[in-house]
């Protein structure tokens, strides 16, 4: 559950209350949380930030696996949005554009709940109170929240608020290297990453300097080359493992990518005859 792209997609809303002098316990710390304080006062310490007073009308971003300590100063009521699909919000918030401010000093991840956002939260609360809960509904409302944030908050405000996500860029490359072999096509890779094709292409251009299709072709060629180096691996095993329809298909592939037949390329790679 620690990868940037959790294929077990989670997004939930919950309305909660806590009495004066108690603490808020977030059970699923592997998720990211947006905590919208509807009523009351609470003292929050999160990672390096200690003893911040938050009141009704504030929202707090709590990144996954954060070290969170809270104490309520009054009875409080809050709405909690929990999610693990932060890559999805690129389309709404354009996180790459927010990196302009990512080198600024870190501040506590709190913003005020502005009127347009409060309207969305009121609708979520209404549906929650009427027991209307479903994953598609939660996804729509999550996207609506992020669209409102993009419209009514500045890039600098959002950059500071979501800085923990902005600092997780390397997780994209880590996830791709770990999981791309499970995908036979770019469409399948996009599904693994929970990204539309156009956003996957943009991320690949940014992090790999290539399109997903070309990058996947190069990875396949690299692995085929590594197998050809090992003379103990039969040609038929390579053909089966990489989905070539026949020896002729494999030969055509090697001529295209390596400029010679599989046997000739294996001979060249080993610098000796077989």
The C-alpha angle with vertex 34 and arms to 193 and 156, in degrees rounded to 5, equals 85
> Do 127 and 191 reside in the same domain of the chain?
no
Number of structural domains the chain divides into: 3
pLDDT tens-digit series, residues 145-171:
999 998 999 988 988 888 877 665 556
Residue 206 phi, psi dihedral angles, 5° rounding = -70, -45
> Do 96 and 154 reside in the same domain of the chain?
yes
| For residues 57-73, average pLDDT | 92
Residue 181 domain-assigned? yes
Q: Long-range pairs for 100-103 at CB < 8 Å and ≥24 separation?
A: 100/155, 100/159, 101/155, 101/156, 101/159, 101/160, 102/159, 102/163, 102/166, 102/167
> Do 97 and 200 reside in the same domain of the chain?
no
Mean predicted lDDT score pLDDT of the chain? 86
Residue where a domain terminates, one of 166, 201, 225: 166
Place of tokens 């956003």: 199
Residue 244 domain-assigned? yes
CB 73 within 8 A of CB 40: yes
pLDDT at 4: 40
95 — pLDDT class (breaks 50, 70, 90): low
> Do 176 and 117 reside in the same domain of the chain?
no
> Do 41 and 124 reside in the same domain of the chain?
yes
Domain CATH code at residue 31: 2.60.120.280
pLDDT at 274: 46
Q: What share of the chain is helix, strand, coil (3-state, %, to 5)?
A: 50, 20, 30
20 — pLDDT class (breaks 50, 70, 90): very high
Residue 3 domain-assigned? no
> Do 34 and 115 reside in the same domain of the chain?
yes
Q: Which of 4-8, 53-57, 59-63, 134-138 has the lowest mean pLDDT?
A: 4-8
How far apart are the C-alpha atoms of 12 and 210, rounded to whole Å? 35
> Do 19 and 131 reside in the same domain of the chain?
yes
Tokens of 114: 């502005």
* Residues of the domain holding 247: 214-270
pLDDT tens-digit series, residues 116-145:
999 999 999 999 999 888 888 888 899 899
Residue 6 domain-assigned? no
pLDDT tens-digit series, residues 38-58:
999 999 999 889 999 999 999
> Do 126 and 205 reside in the same domain of the chain?
no
Residue 5 domain-assigned? no
> Do 26 and 154 reside in the same domain of the chain?
yes
Residue 250 domain-assigned? yes
pTM of the model: 0.61
- What are the C-alpha distances in Å from 13 to residues 125, 142, 162, 235, 245? 9, 9, 19, 53, 48
Q: Which of 189-203, 207-221, 240-254 has the lowest mean pLDDT?
A: 189-203
Residues with Cβ within 8 Å of residue 8, at least 6 apart in sequence = 1, 84
Residue where a domain terminates, one of 166, 198, 230: 166
pLDDT tens-digit series, residues 181-195:
889 899 999 988 878
Tokens of 161: 């608020």
Residue 107 domain-assigned? yes
Integer-rounded Cα Rg, in Å, for the chain is 25
> Do 134 and 263 reside in the same domain of the chain?
no
Q: Which of 113-117, 119-123, 197-201, 236-240 has the lowest mean pLDDT?
A: 197-201
Name the more confident of 167 and 35. Answer: 35
> Do 22 and 128 reside in the same domain of the chain?
yes
> Do 162 and 34 reside in the same domain of the chain?
yes
Q: Which helix (H) or strand (E) holds 82?
A: strand 76-83
């Amino acid at each position: 559950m620690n990868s940037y792209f959790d294929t077990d997609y989670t997004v939930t809303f919950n309305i909660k209350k806590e009495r004066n002098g108690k603490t808020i316990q977030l059970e699923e710390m592997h998720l990211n949380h947006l905590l919208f304080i509807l009523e009351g006062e609470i003292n929050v310490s999160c990672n390096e930030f200690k003893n911040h007073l938050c009141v009704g009308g504030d929202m707090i971003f709590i990144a996954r696996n954060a070290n969170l300590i809270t104490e309520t100063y009054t009875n409080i009521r809050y709405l909690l949005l929990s999610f693990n699909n932060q890559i999805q919000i690129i389309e709404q918030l354009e996180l790459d554009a927010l990196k302009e401010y990512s080198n600024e000093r870190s501040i506590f991840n709190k913003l005020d709940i502005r009127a347009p956002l409060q309207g969305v939260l009121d609708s979520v609360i209404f549906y929650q109170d009427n027991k209307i809960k479903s994953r598609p509904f939660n996804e729509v409302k999550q996207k609506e929240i992020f669209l409102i944030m993009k419209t009514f908050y500045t890039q600098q405000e959002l950059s500071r608020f979501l800085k923990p996500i902005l600092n997780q860029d390397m997780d994209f490359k880590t996830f791709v290297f770990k999981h791309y072999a499970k995908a036979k096509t770019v469409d399948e890779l996009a599904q693994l990453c929970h990204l539309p094709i156009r956003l996957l292409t943009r991320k690949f251009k940014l992090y790999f300097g290539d399109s997903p299709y070309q990058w996947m072709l190069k990875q396949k060629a690299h692995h085929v080359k590594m197998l050809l180096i090992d003379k103990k691996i039969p040609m038929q095993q390579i053909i089966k493992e990489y989905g070539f329809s026949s020896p002729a298909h494999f030969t055509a592939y090697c001529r295209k990518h390596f400029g010679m037949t599989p046997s000739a390329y294996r001979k060249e790679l080993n610098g000796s005859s077989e």
